[in-house]
Amino acid sequence: MRGYVATTDQEWFTFLSGRQPLEEVNFWQPSAHGFNSPPGTPFFFKLKAPHNAIGGFGIFARYEAASVRLAWEAFGDKNGVPSLEAMARRVARYAQASQGPAHRIGCIMVSTPVFFPKEEWIPQPADWKPNIVSGAGYDLSVGEGRRIWEACLARGTGIQVPGAPALAAEPPAARYGEAVLVRPRLGQGTFRVAVTGAYGGACAVSQEHSLPVLEAAHIRPYGAEGTHDVVNGLLLRADIHRLFDAGYVTVTPDRRFVVSRRLAQEWENGKAYYAMDGREIRMPGRPADRPDSELLRWHNDNVFERSAA
């Protein structure tokens, strides 16, 4: 397995290290130029000179391009800044141009981050090249990659880190074994940005593109053993989201929007929604992001009611 050693802004690191524990953070790029590692990749925070050290790590969850405003609404101070205005200023500083909240940044979303105290920082890879700007991939099974991976796991004792083997009094090679890719646990912020990106910023039912009225809806609610996985999400206009959660509308396993007769029976209205009844929803372009049919069936069976009793 490979990990990614990312050049990390000291202000971002210091701000977030004082806010542990954190479920997730947004390691954002001032412009959306992509990130190619697969979800589950160990992601190391490498501080610049004069520190030249690994200050912590997490598990890469997902990459999406998003506006500064959406990133702030989804992650808040987990962006490493105290306010939307401060974030816009930071982005403008790094982008070397005046940018507003609509400017699109790259969101490298990292789950279960761990920030080490200064006395536990790990020396950066001995073969680190000074001309590296953003970061570099390392094989975690050998050499410098293995050294920093094992050192990070050891410092994570007592902290829940997905995929980290239990620590024991054994030699490092026996203790950790082969590094394996793990499935990251997505947080609420990652879910919001990921679902918005998966649906191309448009409501799955109405095709509305106005971001302020779009919400990432859980098919099976988080409080009912649902998850923040993209396949458990739909991007919905706020009014449709409320009706979906209340069981007045649903999406069938064959991905069609259905409106309950309850809406007319109980409220004597709903004309705008009945006009969309039977409509096939807009699907994410990536098959892996499409709503899970079993979760849709769960909503049909447990939340949706076709008519009033």
Please count the residues of the chain.
309
pLDDT for position 309: 56
Per-residue pLDDT of the chain (309 residues; tens, 9 = 90+): 899 999 999 999 999 999 999 999 999 999 999 999 999 999 999 999 999 999 999 999 999 999 999 999 999 999 999 999 999 999 999 887 767 788 999 999 999 999 999 999 999 999 999 899 999 999 999 999 999 999 999 986 444 444 444 333 333 433 444 545 556 767 999 999 999 999 999 999 999 999 999 999 999 999 999 999 999 999 999 999 999 999 999 999 999 999 999 999 999 889 999 999 999 999 999 999 999 999 999 999 999 998 765
Domains in the chain with CATH codes: 2-176 (2.30.130.30), 199-302 (no CATH)
State CA 114 to chain mean position distance: 16
State CA 64 to chain mean position distance: 8
pTM, whole model, 2 decimals? 0.88
As a whole number of angstroms, the distance between CA 157 and CA 164 comes to 10
Number of other CB atoms surrounding residue 179 within 10 Å: 20
